[in-house]
Amino acid sequence: MNKNYYCIIMAGGIGSRFWPFSRQDKPKQFLDILHTGKTLIQKTYERFVKIIPKENILVVTHNDYLQLVKDQLPEIQNQNILLEPYRRNTAPCIAYALSKIKMMNSDAVMVVAPSDHQIIKEEDFLQNVMQGLDFVSKTDNLLTLGIKPSRPETGYGYIQIENGKEYNKTESNIFKKVKTFTEKPDFEMAKVFVESGEFFWNSGLFFWSARSIENAFEQYLPDIYELFKNGETLWNTEFESKFIEEIYSRCRNISIDYGIMEKASNAYMIISDFGWSDLGTWGSLYEHLEKDENGNHIGCPNTFTYDSKNCIIKANQNKCVVVQGLEDYVIIDTNDVLLICRTKEEQQIRQFVTDVKLKLGDKYI
């Protein structure tokens, strides 16, 4: 394995769109939502450890999830678990990991990955990862993976490429120049995107060298760059956690997409097709679950359905559940919360969580 290859696994989110199954004290990345016997973060780690030295894999997560990470990923060294005191989106998360990696190896190149994605064709995925790491080790470019869309999807961001513009055509045509990043569109716009052939789903996977991404932070996010630069002498000392507590309270809440990738003139993309889903919603999970002859996923044994189609039904294993006359619904019953929501309107779940927290506090969150 190449000792200059590193991986940053981002695992600090609360998975609010999977509420009430995903909760603040144990969000979706620490759950076996696909019933495989492995949690999502375990599957993510097991993919990357095949091609990246385990000592070069870092997990960035929230303070609250330290024990969950240690329990589920016992091979990860303590110094490779980076704890965030506040959730500030992906740019500060990556800046923190970059600071630590740079101290270990100034020649590092890295892949940045969410902890909660589904990959069906793993060999194809790992081939793309190796292509990406090799590309950024030889150039000063920033790279992402764009997923060939199979349908108009309103739950994903999109990446547009500049047709006819590849990196070094004589060598390879797989590295496409990025034109724009676009936030989640409405359905009609998503149809236009897919039909154009120029737009691809934003996978949230990124590649770069330590030098190229540091230069990008200095140019496009100088405030975050300066905050972390001030801590160069404190990493892996007793003062690190106090320093991180202080600067995170001052960090902007901003994604790496918006803060850097949308602005960078050296952003490229690999067109990928490895059976990807970000498992961001119940609807995206539905595609990967077993279903009965009516398209219902039954996640509890004592369930009876009548005139119901294409529903996700999950409840306590000891509970009897009867569902009649529903089509395309998410029905989730935990010990203390019952959610019944139209699948096509599941983007509102985040608002439901906000409303519940506002009126009832954190008890049900």
Domain ranges of the chain: 5-277, 289-360
269, β-bridge pairs:
144, 176
Q: Categorize the per-residue pLDDT at 166 as very low, low, confident or very high, splitting at 50, 70 and 90.
A: low
User: Is residue 159 within 8 Å of residue 271, measured between CB atoms?
Assistant: no
> What is the pTM assigned to this prediction?
0.92
The CATH code belonging to domain 5-277 is 3.90.550.10
Most confident of 166-170, 317-321, 325-329: 325-329
322, β-bridge pairs:
304
* 158 dihedral zone (left: phi>0; alpha: psi -120 to 50; beta): beta
pLDDT at 162: 85
Integer Cα distance of 305 and 42 in angstroms: 34
For residues 209-228, average pLDDT? 97
pLDDT at 173: 60
Whether pLDDT at 76 is above 70: yes
Q: Can you list the alpha helix ranges (DSSP code H) found in 2-83? A: 40-48, 66-72
pLDDT at 163: 75
